[in-house]
Amino acid sequence: MAREDAIEVEGAVVEALPHALYRVALANGHRVLAHWKGKARRNPVPLEPGDRVKLEMSPFDLSKGGIVWNEKEI
């Protein structure tokens, strides 16, 4: 089964939303809804506005992305 070509982008948290969701501003100015991705989903770290993150996004839905890296957990 083919896998969607995940595009990795960098951004910064703008706003923390309920249920461990975040509004993230990307380098290209777009704001997307970010959720935790993969194993991080089980114990998400609370992020604050300004924290840098990397998102994995689907080419078919550029309105949301999965957080695969964040500044706090280096």
Partner 1 sequence: MIILKNERDLEAMRPACAIAGSVLDEVAAWIKPGVTTKEVDSFAASRIKHYGAKSAFLGYRKYPCQICISANDQVVHGLAGARRLEFGDIVSLDIGVVYNGFIGDTARTVAVGGCSVIAQRLMDVTEKSLQEGIAQAVSGNRVVDISRAIQNYVEGNGFSVVREFVGHGVGRSMHEEPQVPNFVDKKDEKKSEKLRPGMTLAIEPMVNTGLPGVKILNDGWTVVTQDGSLSAHFEHTVLITESEPEILTWPARMPSKLKAQ
Should residue 5 be labelled a site residue for partner 1 when binding is judged by CB under 8 A?
Answer: yes
Q: Environment class of residue 22 by beta-carbon count within 10 Å: exposed (0-12), middle (13-18) or buried (19+)? A: buried
The reply to whether 42 sits near partner 1 by the rule CB under 8 A is no
Shortest distance, position 2 Cβ to partner 1, whole Å: 4
Among 50, 59, 73, 74, binds partner 1 (CB under 8 A): 59
The single residue among 28, 42, 60, 73 that binds partner 1, judged by CB under 8 A, is: 60
